Each structure stands twice: as C-alpha cells, then as structure tokens.
Amino acid sequence: MPPKIAKLAGLGALGAAAGLLGLAVLFALLTRPSPSAGMDESHRMLAWMGVAGVLAALALAHVVLGRQLLAVGRGHRGEP
C-alpha cells in the first residue's frame, strides 16, 4: 500500500474510533432519565453497558488498525 494512502486510511480509522465513542455518549444522553422515560434504572444501565462495550471494542479495533496504518505511512515495515 502506498504510504500516502496508508496515512489517510490510518487517520480515517482514528476518526472512526472517535465517532464510535461519540456515538456511545450520544446514546447515553438520549436514554438518560426523564419524566417520560420508558426504561427503569436497571434496564437503562444494562443497555448502557451493552452498547458501550460493543462500541468500545469497535473503537479499540479501529485505533489498533489506525496506528498500524500510520506506521506503514511513515515507512515502517513490521510492528509499529
């Protein structure tokens, strides 16, 4: 892969990781308690943990791949 494209792909992966974490925060804000909320506290916490766990795992995978792509963009051949 050409270094220029690897650098752009790495930056894109890191941007996607930030977007995934922002999505988790948005989910928490949209499901916070309100007078018309349909979930009680225990179900809300389970939903928050489930969604945050999946999105955090995806964000971590994007960070790892992004760092590897940025290392390729800098000219490194092996592990960063």
CA distances to 47, 63, 77 from 73, rounded to whole Å, are: 38, 15, 10
What are the b/e assignments for 58-80, b being 16+ CB within 10 Å?
Answer: bbeebbebbebbbbbbeeeeeee
Which of 9, 23, 18 has its CA nearest to residue 68? 9
Positions of E strands within 11-78:
none
Tell me: the pLDDT tens digits for 43-76? 888 988 999 999 999 999 999 999 999 999 988 8
The residues near 39 (Cβ < 8 Å, ≥ 6 apart) are 31, 47
pTM of the model as a whole: 0.80
Asked if the model's pLDDT at residue 42 lies above 80, the reply is yes
pLDDT number for residue 12: 96
Tell me: the pLDDT tens digits for 2-27? 889 999 999 999 999 999 999 999 98
Extents of the domains making up the chain:
3-32+39-74
The residues near 36 (Cβ < 8 Å, ≥ 6 apart) are none
